[in-house]
Amino acid sequence: MKSISILGVYVADLAFFADEIPIIGETIIGKEYFIGPGGKGSNQAVAAAKAGVKTFFISKIGDDQFGSMAKKIYDEAGVDYSKVIISKEHVTGAAGILVNSKGQNAINVVTGAGGALTKGDIDNALSTITTSSVFLTNLEVPKEVAYHALKMAKSSNVPTILNPAPASEINEDIFPFIDYFTPNETEAGFYVNHKVENEDDAKTASQQLLQRGIKNVIITLGDKGAYFANNKESFHVNAMNLGEKVVDTTGAGDAFNAGFAVALTEDKNIKDSITFANTTAGLSTTKVGTANSMPLRSEIDKSL
């Protein structure tokens, strides 16, 4: 059976909604708050499972209340978390999320147990990774752990996706192990050292990234869609036209990466895979929250 394996962290999201995001030294009165499941890898696993593909999540959580919240959402979404380590030594991570009236956000993540993952933990999940149809990870886990997992996946010819978020320096020698590199506009800007705000910027940035040895680049541009490039072709794919339906963009990038992984697993071509990913991401912005906002397969199919 085809499957996706995802390496990442789980954190509890503490989200606070107000008209504006406060600046340093400022206190504002907010409108509402909620506590829910989050963390890039965890969100991606929930989104992939809800989109209809067998999904394994590889991570570490604490033996605490936030960890129990994680297991509950995995049970509900159908995520296989047999490779999630329950640690007595570490607390489960948490993220403070500030969201303004336009749905824009600022986030502070403390990775907790997930940040304590080791290469040995990856070795214990090796058979899950090497028998997957697609392997997806990001940079919330320790870098040496992400690199080790990418190498393990590629050693078994498993297609790999690196969502380079949060953006930080990546060893050049790891690029050959990445099949798909999926930064958003801010992250892409970090890696090419100039602003990426539109399709033309994305075109320039993707060429710079390809020159560094990455095989396929997908730069997500929020409501401007996504730009794809490799050494053979390049094109832009429009986002869903949602207008006033957008209420919270938190987790949209995670929905995109999960949707893209699902589409690859189902052998869709690259353009159709990005359209599927855009639809998954778009639908996630119409609900508040991250993992809880990920759409069901029936909702995605209906919107394609």
pLDDT 10s digits, 89-140: 999 999 899 999 988 889 898 999 999 999 999 999 999 999 999 999 999 9
Active site positions, annotated: 254
Task: Identify the CA nearest to 252 among candidates 263, 264, 239.
Answer: 239
Considering Cα of 271, then 273, then 276, then 280, what sign does the dihedral take?
A: negative
Half-sphere exposure for 189 (CA within 13 Å, toward CB): 12
The pLDDT value recorded for residue 250 is: 85
Contact 277, 256 (CB under 8 A): yes
- CA 58, CA 117: separation in Å to the nearest integer? 9
Tokens of 10: 């789980």
Is this prediction's pTM over 0.95? no
pLDDT, tens digit, for every residue of 4-17?
Answer: 999 999 999 899 99
What average pLDDT is seen over the chain?
96
Domains in the chain, please, with CATH?
A: 3-23+30-112+134-303 (3.40.1190.20)
pLDDT, tens digit, for every residue of 221-275?
Answer: 999 999 999 999 999 999 999 989 999 898 999 999 999 999 999 999 999 999 9
Tracing tokens 């697993």 back to the chain, one arrives at 265
Contact 94, 110 (CB under 8 A): yes
> Could you tell me how far CA 84 lies from the centroid of its own chain?
17
Mean pLDDT of all residues in 58-66: 98
- CA 291, CA 33: separation in Å to the nearest integer? 16
- CA 28, CA 31: separation in Å to the nearest integer? 10
The pLDDT value recorded for residue 151 is: 98
Torsion of CA 116, 137, 289, 27, to 10 degrees: 60
Contact 11, 95 (CB under 8 A): yes
Mean pLDDT of all residues in 23-51: 95
Tokens of 60: 């570490």
Tally of residues, the chain? 304
pLDDT class of 34 with cuts at 50, 70, 90: confident
CA distances from 2 to 123, 226, 247, 272, 299 (A): 21, 26, 34, 19, 22
The pLDDT value recorded for residue 204 is: 98
Tokens of 143: 């870098």
